[in-house]
A and B are shown apart, each in its own frame.
Chain A
Amino acid sequence: MPRLVSHPDEIKVISKRFGMGAEKIDRYIELGGYEAVKKCLQQGPDWIINEMKASNLRGRGGAGFPTGMKWSFVPKQSPKPKYVLVNGDESEPGTCKDHLIFLHDPHAVIEGTIIAGLAIGAKVGFIYLRGEYRYLIEIMERAVDEAYGRGFLGKNIFGSGNEFEAIVQTGAGAYEVGEESALMESLEGKRGVPRIKPPFPAVVGLYGGPTVINNAETIASVPPAILMGGAAYAELGSPRNGGTRLVSISGHVERPGVYELAMGYNLRKMIYDVAGGIRGGRKLKAVVPGGSSTPVLLPEEIDVGMDFDQVGKAGSMLGSAAVMVIDDRTCMVEIALRTIKFYRHESCGWCIPCREGTDWLEKTLTRFHAGFGVAKDIDNIYYLADNMMGHTFCPLGDAAAMPTLGFVKKFRKEFEDHLNGKPCPFAREGVPQLTVV
Chain B
Amino acid sequence: MSAESMSIFSPKLAARFDALVGKYPVKRSALVPMLLYAQDEVGYLSDAVIEEVAWRIGITALDVRNVATYYSMLRFRPVGKYHVQVCTNISCMLCGAYDLFERFQDELGIGDKGVTPDGIFSLEEVECIGACSWAPAIQVNYDFHDELSPDHVPGILASYRGKAGQPAQAQVQGGSAPHA
Which A residues form the contact surface with B (CB < 8 A)?
A: 2-3, 81, 90-96, 98-99, 124, 130-135, 167, 169-175, 186-193, 207, 248-252, 256-258, 288, 292, 322, 324-326, 330, 335, 338-339, 342, 345-346, 348, 428
Q: Is the CB of A324 within 8 A of B74?
A: no
Q: Is the CB of B130 within 8 A of A96?
A: yes
Q: List, in ascending order, chain A residues with CB within 8 A of B30's CB.
A: 189
Contact of B71 among A96, A174, A335 (CB under 8 A): A174
- Report the minimal beta-carbon distance from B49 to chain A, rounded to whole angstroms: 14
Chain B residues 143-175 with CB under 8 Å of chain A are 143-144, 146-147
Q: Is the CB of B133 within 8 A of A256?
A: yes
Known: A2-B133, A186-B32. A192 touches B142 (CB 8 A): no
B31 contacts the other chain (Cβ, under 8 Å)?
yes
Q: Is the CB of B94 within 8 A of A330?
A: yes
Q: Is the CB of A248 within 8 A of B29?
A: no
18 examples of A-B residue contacts, CB within 8 angstroms: A96-B132, A132-B129, A132-B139, A169-B32, A172-B71, A173-B72, A173-B73, A175-B128, A189-B28, A189-B32, A190-B28, A250-B135, A252-B94, A292-B89, A292-B90, A325-B94, A348-B70, A428-B99
B108 contacts the other chain (Cβ, under 8 Å)?
no
Q: Is the CB of B94 within 8 A of A248?
A: no
Contact of A170 among B25, B32, B127, B128 (CB under 8 A): B32
B23 contacts the other chain (Cβ, under 8 Å)?
yes
B3 contacts the other chain (Cβ, under 8 Å)?
no
Q: Is the CB of A339 within 8 A of B134?
A: no
Digitize B83-104: 1 where CB-to-A-CB distance is under 8 Å, 0 elsewhere. 0000011110111000100000
- Report the minimal beta-carbon distance from B3 to chain A, rounded to whole angstroms: 19
Q: List, in ascending order, chain B residues with CB within 8 A of A193's CB.
A: 70
- Total B residues in contact with A, Cβ cutoff 8 Å: 43
Question: A412 vs B91: C-alpha distance in the bound complex, in angstroms?
Answer: 22
Contact of B132 among A93, A187, A335 (CB under 8 A): A93
Which B residues form the contact surface with A (CB < 8 A)?
A: 23-26, 28-33, 35-36, 57, 66-67, 70-74, 88-91, 93-95, 99, 127-135, 139, 142-144, 146-147
Q: Is the CB of A251 within 8 A of B91?
A: yes
Known: A189-B26, A189-B31. A171 touches B94 (CB 8 A): no
Question: A91 vs B126: C-alpha distance in the bound complex, in angstroms?
Answer: 12
- Report the minimal beta-carbon distance from A212 to chain B, rounded to whole angstroms: 16
Known: A190-B67, A250-B91. A322 touches B32 (CB 8 A): no
Question: A167 vs B29: C-alpha distance in the bound complex, in angstroms?
Answer: 11
Q: Is the CB of B33 within 8 A of A170?
A: yes
- Report the minimal beta-carbon distance from B97 to chain A, rounded to whole angstroms: 10
Known: A187-B29, A258-B133. A131 touches B73 (CB 8 A): yes
Q: List, in ascending order, chain A residues with CB within 8 A of B74's CB.
A: 172-173
Known: A189-B32, A191-B67. A342 touches B130 (CB 8 A): no
Q: List, in ascending order, chain B residues with CB within 8 A of A175's CB.
A: 127-128
Q: Is the CB of A257 within 8 A of B94?
A: no
Q: List, in ascending order, chain B residues with CB within 8 A of A99's CB.
A: 130-131
Known: A135-B142, A256-B135, A330-B94. A188 touches B73 (CB 8 A): no
* Residue with the highest number of chain B CB atoms closer than 10 Å, among A81, A173, A190, A257: A173
Q: List, in ascending order, chain A residues with CB within 8 A of B70's CB.
A: 174, 191-193, 348
Q: List, in ascending order, chain B residues with CB within 8 A of A124's CB.
A: 25
Q: List, in ascending order, chain B residues with CB within 8 A of A338's CB.
A: 88-90, 93
Q: List, in ascending order, chain B residues with CB within 8 A of A133's CB.
A: 130
Q: Is the CB of A172 within 8 A of B130?
A: no
Question: A63 vs B177: C-alpha distance in the bound complex, in angstroms?
Answer: 44
Q: List, in ascending order, chain A residues with CB within 8 A of B130's CB.
A: 90-91, 95-96, 98-99, 130, 132-133
Question: A95 vs B135: C-alpha distance in the bound complex, in angstroms?
Answer: 11
Q: List, in ascending order, chain B residues with CB within 8 A of A171's CB.
A: 32, 71
Q: Is the CB of B66 within 8 A of A288?
A: no
- Report the minimal beta-carbon distance from A14 to chain B, rounded to whole angstroms: 16
Q: Is the CB of B128 within 8 A of A250?
A: no
Closest to A3 in B: B134
- Report the minimal beta-carbon distance from B154 to chain A, rounded to whole angstroms: 19
Q: List, in ascending order, chain A residues with CB within 8 A of B139's CB.
A: 132
